[in-house]
């Protein structure tokens, strides 16, 4: 007695298999990008804290030296830095992968430019200026040379602030077309940064211990000048 052969039809569709593979690879890439963004987010937040601490220290030093224009330049630079940093944190989690890549590439270029010039300025040029100032200590030329140093430092900081501002505008243009809620987000970031700068400024102005040191040094400097 013969057995009826059963026939099975296997519908093998290469396009569906390929599509599934592509979706799987896409999911892996998205997960990787999300993880990288989480790490970048943490790193960016740490950078903000460290940068603001450095700005506060520099502002206190400028107060000690009586460099009003330098303080104003540092405050403006700190504001631009915070705007860029906060924007970047939000944009990294809101934009498409290709936009995120461009933001990170441009940011790295900006940081390299600022770091190189700032390192040379702080390690080489600035110490030389203050060493020269010491040579004029107790003379009529002291204040004149001191003012020229303040103007030089202020100009340097202004250039860096303009560089940060230029980058911020580029970053905003890059994101604006791909982020529908850009204006709302940017307004929130601006308000956040404004509140932070106000708090940092208040903290600096209320630092009574440091203020006493500044006033003491200023009084000593006045006595030295009067004695001469």
Q: How many CB atoms are closer than 10 A to CB 1?
A: 2
Write out the chain's pLDDT in tens, 228 residues.
455 444 544 455 566 666 666 666 666 655 555 556 566 667 778 888 888 998 988 999 899 888 999 999 999 999 999 999 999 888 887 787 788 888 888 888 888 888 888 878 888 888 888 888 888 888 888 999 999 999 999 999 999 999 999 999 988 888 887 787 888 888 999 999 999 999 988 888 886 555 555 555 555 545 544 554
Cβ burial 106-140 (10 Å sphere, 16+ → b, else e): ebeebeeebeeeeeebeeeeeeebeeebeeeeeee
Q: How does 14-32 read in b/e, with b if 16+ C-beta sit within 10 Å?
A: eeeeeeeeeeeeeeeeeee
* pLDDT on residue 224: 46
Q: What is the pLDDT of residue 8?
A: 46
Give the alpha-carbon dihedral of 102, 103, 104, 107, to 10 degrees: 120
Contacts of 213 (CB under 8 A, 6+ apart): 64
Instruction: Give the C-alpha separation, 205 to 210, whole Å.
Output: 9
Quote the pTM value.
Answer: 0.71
């Amino acid at each position: 007695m013969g057995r009826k052969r059963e026939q099975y039809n296997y519908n093998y569709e290469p396009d569906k298999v390929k599509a599934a593979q592509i979706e799987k690879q896409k999911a892996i890439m998205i997960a990787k990008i999300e993880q990288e963004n989480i790490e970048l987010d943490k790193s960016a937040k740490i950078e903000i804290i460290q940068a603001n601490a450095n700005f506060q220290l520099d502002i206190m030093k400028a107060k000690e030296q009586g460099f009003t224009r330098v303080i104003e330049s540092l405050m403006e630079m700190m504001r631009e830095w915070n705007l860029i940093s906060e924007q970047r944190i939000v944009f990294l989690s809101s934009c498409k992968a290709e936009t995120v890549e461009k933001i990170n590439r441009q940011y790295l270029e900006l940081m390299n430019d600022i770091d190189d010039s700032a390192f040379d300025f702080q390690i080489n040029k600035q110490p030389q200026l203050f060493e020269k100032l010491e040579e004029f200590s107790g003379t009529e030329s002291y204040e004149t040379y001191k003012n020229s140093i303040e103007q030089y430092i202020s100009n340097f900081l202004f250039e860096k602030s303009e560089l940060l501002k230029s980058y911020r505008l580029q970053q905003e243009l890059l994101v604006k077309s791909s982020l529908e809620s850009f204006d709302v987000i940017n307004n929130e970031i601006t308000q956040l940064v404004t509140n932070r700068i106000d708090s940092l400024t208040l903290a600096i102005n209320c630092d009574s211990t440091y203020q006493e040191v500044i006033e003491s040094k200023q009084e000593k400097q006045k006595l030295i000048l009067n004695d001469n």
